[in-house]
Amino acid sequence: MIKVYGLGLSFPVNRVRMCLNAINVDHEFVIINPLAGETQTEEYLKMSPSGKIPAIDDDGFYLFESNAIMKYLCRKHNSNLYPSDLIEQAHVDSWLDFIVAHLNNGLAKVFFNKIVAGLIDAEVDKKSMEEGYGFLERFMTVIEQQLGTTPYLAGDRMTIADIALLATVDPFEVIDIKLSDYPSVAAWASKLMKESFYTKVHGSYKETLDAVMAG
């Protein structure tokens, strides 16, 4: 059985978990905490040389980076969540790159200072956090425009681009961003968060965070 290594607070990890659920692949979720140095062991670094999460072990085949993992899983299991058509695939790739380069960059800055710093007793960098909020505000506008014209991010049906985006906006509530400020995104997210591929991960991101904070 495929193993997914990571932590429930990690949006890239949750991307992979949602993808596996969406294509109905049984898997084992192995909790490994980078905040405790658990990703720096010799064994884990064989799977993920960067020492980051997620990583997968598919019967001895190791792979890291969430988008690469999702593409691999879809190809292996013949899922149209990652289209085989060249043009459709290019649209999905564009949005995946956009999410990583722009949204995840801003989210990481905000999330670290708003949430992680308190967990590891680190100093909050207010400038970095403000930059992160600025990035998110700027680039969520692009997402809002897109979902105002198509039901899913890359067109008329759900793809891994939607999974990547859903895992990215999932923590917005806990970092004080209102999805209601982006009505098209909010309607899209509300629909997908009712699907089993999401609810098998958690009822909400806040639920997962509360469990961590409770110890």
Residue positions annotated with a catalytic role: 10
Select from 74, 88, 104, 207 the least CA-distant residue to 165. 104
Residues 6 or more apart whose CB falls under 8 angstroms from that of 180 comprise 186
Query: DSSP 3-state assignment of 29?
Result: strand
In one-letter notation, the amino acid at residue 142 is: V
Strand order in the sheet with 55-58: 27-31, 2-6, 55-58, 61-64
Helix (H), strand (E) at residue 27: strand 27-31
Query: DSSP 3-state assignment of 5?
Result: strand
Query: DSSP 3-state assignment of 202?
Result: coil
